[in-house]
A and B are shown apart, each in its own frame.
Chain A
Amino acid sequence: MAYKKIFTTLPLLYLLIFTSSCRKIDHLIEVIGIDKNGDPTIIHIPQLEYIKRFSRTINAIQKPSLSALSKIHSNSPWQLRAMAFGIGVNAQVGFGPWQIGAYPELRLIFSNSSDSYVP
């Protein structure tokens, strides 16, 4: 009897696992990384992980940068109107031997103008 129960409930359990795995598969995004031969290739990383690291990185940069920029005072006829930061979002992606460090690069442009130029 217990044997039968196992084999009736296991597929249902599998259904549960499968459904959750499908959700993850649907929420992967493509990132260009390096394969084991050193060639550029596509790696899939979880979307939520990317979003989390992306916003964490920008928030970490944003507050101290704005604080420092607001303290710049100058009597020169030249005014600082924009500043660009280049940063990388550190994310470990992949499994086991394929695990690599991926660094999607971002540029943040801070400005005190409503019409800043993006270099």
Chain B
Amino acid sequence: MCLKVMKSTQAYFIKECISMKKTLLLKPILLFLFLSLSFAHSSLAENNQLPTAWYLLPEDSRASHKINSLDNTVPAPLSATIESLYATQQTALESISEYSDSQKEDSHPANWIPWHLDSVSTDLGVTAQGLIGLLAIKGTPALNLIWRKHKVEPIIPFEEPSAQELDNPGENSYLLNDPSEIPISAQIEPIYRSIIASGKINEPKVFKENLTRVATDLNNLIHTIDLPSSSSWWLSGYRFDFIVSASGRIAPAWLSLGGELRVRLEWYFIKPIRSGKLSPQNTLAPYKASLNSLVGSIGSVLHEADSHVLINGSMHPFFCRVGVGVSAQGQMGIAKGGAQVIGHLLFSKDLPKKNATTATQEMNEGQVEPTTQSFIPLIEMNPSQDHLQFAQRENVEVKQYAQNHGIKQAVYKIPTSRVVEGLKKAFRIVDFLANRPPDPKKRWQLYEARAAFDLSLTGTFGLASVSGLFSTMLYFR
């Protein structure tokens, strides 16, 4: 409204001045002003949307699902918008005051430093129209940016433990990288106590036995997973949800028990786990082959995509979190949309030391073992007819299953080569949106970026929109 009034006022004055023929010299100035104003205003209204293929999945739109080159598809106003968002954020962070008033005491650990504001995390979102901005409403962030101050030195220099020390821990110390080194019963004790405290379990003894068994079986199952030895990505953690009934029974979340309580078992590893043998009594044994295959395939495609994509900025992919679903037949796959996620698989990659390798060098190192499975299952609950028909047109094999309560399920078999291409695109999107050269003069630097994606049944990835769901998160650092 305001702009309209200004424009009409301007037009009126131009008309008046010209008609008077008294201000001939002003004519070019006024013309310049008029054009400048139009350009200035139109730059706001100009198309600064993300390219459609970045956020709309092909099955949900008429958009082309081809993997577009980012160089050809990024509109100039979009770059300006993103630069402006980063510049604003950087300026805002630089204006924060610094406080620190704690003193070191004898009880503090060796690497203790005074309490300080270490990181600030902000979210960027994408609307259904593909517009990007600071997220100021409840919704799914497409990009979570973590800013951190320059490294704060500890008061007393902390020496990293050597590899020998890590392999031979002292008598009273535990290594948390391998849960098997701490008794499962000790690990689950806090979970057991908190659930019993809810008062919803009638048989605490039965519940404790079952919880111990499930945690033991899950740990044992995960320790039998093999990743391709050439993959630079390794399984660094997992989390799975279980349902607890009042009688103390526990079952995986995908098997309905009618229970009210859910328990999440989650572990992280600080180095790759060693492959072990499956216990004959393991109740989760039927899922071994499927889980092993899924982990192997995801590890391979991550490595292949990562090895063959050129990252321009200083941050590189180092972590990936994948939402997992399970079919009625017990096949595990990536959950579409995140709605039916029953657990997560976490993959990590060791980042090279700064300046040790360049992206170009990494591109030439892409020697990957053949993927053990030629497809990655994508599991969707209650698929629409449009999706099923789209899969048929795209020659994506799909199997449909009927579950209880009229729920239908589709398992799409996505060729791994397509997922590799999709991941490359996802890496390039994060690279474009989040990777910025660090400015050593600034106190605050962008430390990490976490981008949320959903997987299409064509294998391409789309950034999550504000009202959308996602199954995969890519972390750059």
CB-contacts of B13-61 with A (<8 A): 13, 16-17, 20, 22-23, 26, 29-30, 33, 36-37, 40-41, 44
Residue interface mask A62-73, B partner, CB < 8 A = 1: 110011011001
Query: Which of B140-155 touch A at CB < 8 Å?
Result: 146, 148, 151-154
CA distance A31 to B248 in the complex (A): 48
Say whether B133 contacts A32, CB under 8 Å.
Answer: yes
Residues of A within 8 A of B97 (CB): 55, 59, 62
Q: Say whether B135 contacts A105, CB under 8 Å.
A: yes
Contacts of A54 in B (CB 8 A): 92, 95
B209 to chain A, nearest CB (A): 28
**B265, CB-defined interface residue at 8 Å:** no
Q: From the candidates A44, A69, A73, A106, name the one contacting B44 in the complex (CB within 8 A).
A: A44
Option from B1, B16, B44, B152 in Cβ contact (under 8 Å) with A114: B152
- Give complex CA distance A92, B396 in Å: 48
Q: B91 to chain A: which residues have CB within 8 Å?
A: 47, 51
B192 interface contact, C-beta 8 A: no
| B467 and A69 form a contact (CB under 8 A) | no
Interface digits, A40-63 against B, CB 8 Å rule (1 contact, 0 not)?
Answer: 111110010011001100110011
Most B CB atoms within 10 A — which of A30, A43, A74? A30
Please name all residues of chain B whose beta carbon is closer than 8 Å to the beta carbon of A91 when the two chains form the complex: 136
Q: Which residues of B contact A22 (CB under 8 A)?
A: 36-37, 40
- Which residues of B lie under 8 Å from residue A104 when comparing CB positions? 122-123, 134-136
Q: Is A37 part of the contact surface with B, judged by Cβ < 8 Å?
A: no
Q: Which of A15, A41, A51, A113 contacts B33 (CB 8 A)?
A: A15
B117 touches A110 (CB 8 A): yes
User: How far in angstroms is the closest Cβ of chain A from B96?
Assistant: 5
Contact B122 A47 (CB under 8 A): no
Q: Tell yes or no: B448 within 8 A of A by CB.
A: yes
- CB of B118 closer than 8 Å to a CB of A: yes
> Which A99-116 residues have a C-beta within 8 angstroms of B?
102-116
Question: CB-defined interface of B86-110 with A at 8 Å, one 1/0 digit per residue?
Answer: 0010011001110111110101110
Tell me how far the C-beta of B224 lies from the nearest C-beta in chain A, rounded to whole angstroms.
28
Q: Does B9 belong to the interface (CB within 8 Å)?
A: yes
Q: Which among B65-73, B124-132, B233-241, B295-303 touches the partner chain?
A: B124-132
Minimum C-beta distance from A48 to chain B (A): 9
Given known contacts A18-B33, A73-B107, A112 and B115 CB-to-CB distance under 8 angstroms: yes
Establish whether residues B136 and A47, one from each chain, have CB atoms under 8 Å apart when the complex forms: no
Pairwise interchain contact B131-A42, C-beta atoms closer than 8 A: yes
Cβ contacts under 8 Å, B127 to chain A: 32, 40-42
Question: How far apart are the CA atoms of A32 and B466 in the complex, in Å?
Answer: 9
Given contacts A25-B44, A30-B131, A70-B114, contact A7 B120 (CB under 8 A): no
**Contact B133–A30 (Cβ < 8 Å):** yes
Docked Cα-Cα span, A34 to B113, in Å, equals 42
Give the shortest distance, in Å, between A64 (CB) and chain B (any CB).
Answer: 10
A41 to B228, CA, bound (A): 44
B384 partner residues in chain A, CB cutoff 8 A:
none
Measured CB to CB, the nearest residue on chain A to B48 is: A30
Complex Cα spacing A70 to B188, Å: 31
Contact in complex: A103, B120 (CB < 8 Å): no
B385 → chain A closest CB, angstroms = 26
* A50–B139 CB distance below 8 A: no
The verdict on B111 contacting chain A, using a C-beta distance below 8 Å, is yes
Instruction: Name 26 interchain pairs, CB-CB below 8 A, sorted by A.
Output: A7-B23, A8-B22, A11-B13, A14-B33, A15-B29, A18-B10, A18-B36, A25-B40, A29-B84, A29-B133, A31-B136, A32-B125, A32-B127, A42-B133, A43-B136, A58-B96, A58-B117, A62-B99, A62-B117, A66-B115, A73-B107, A74-B107, A107-B119, A112-B108, A113-B113, A116-B119
B→A interface (CB under 8 Å):
1-2, 6, 9-10, 13, 16-17, 20, 22-23, 26, 29-30, 33, 36-37, 40-41, 44, 81, 84-85, 88, 91-92, 95-97, 99-103, 105, 107-109, 111-123, 125, 127-129, 131-137, 139, 146, 148, 151-154, 158, 447-448, 466-467
Residues of chain A whose beta carbon lies under 8 Å from any beta carbon of chain B: 4, 7-8, 10-11, 14-15, 18, 21-22, 25-26, 28-34, 39-44, 47, 50-51, 54-55, 58-59, 62-63, 66-67, 69-70, 73-75, 79, 82, 91, 95-96, 102-116, 118
Known contacts A11-B13, A109-B120, A112-B108; 15 additional CB pairs below 8 A are A11-B29, A15-B33, A18-B10, A30-B134, A32-B135, A40-B127, A41-B131, A43-B133, A55-B92, A62-B96, A73-B107, A104-B134, A109-B118, A112-B116, A118-B448
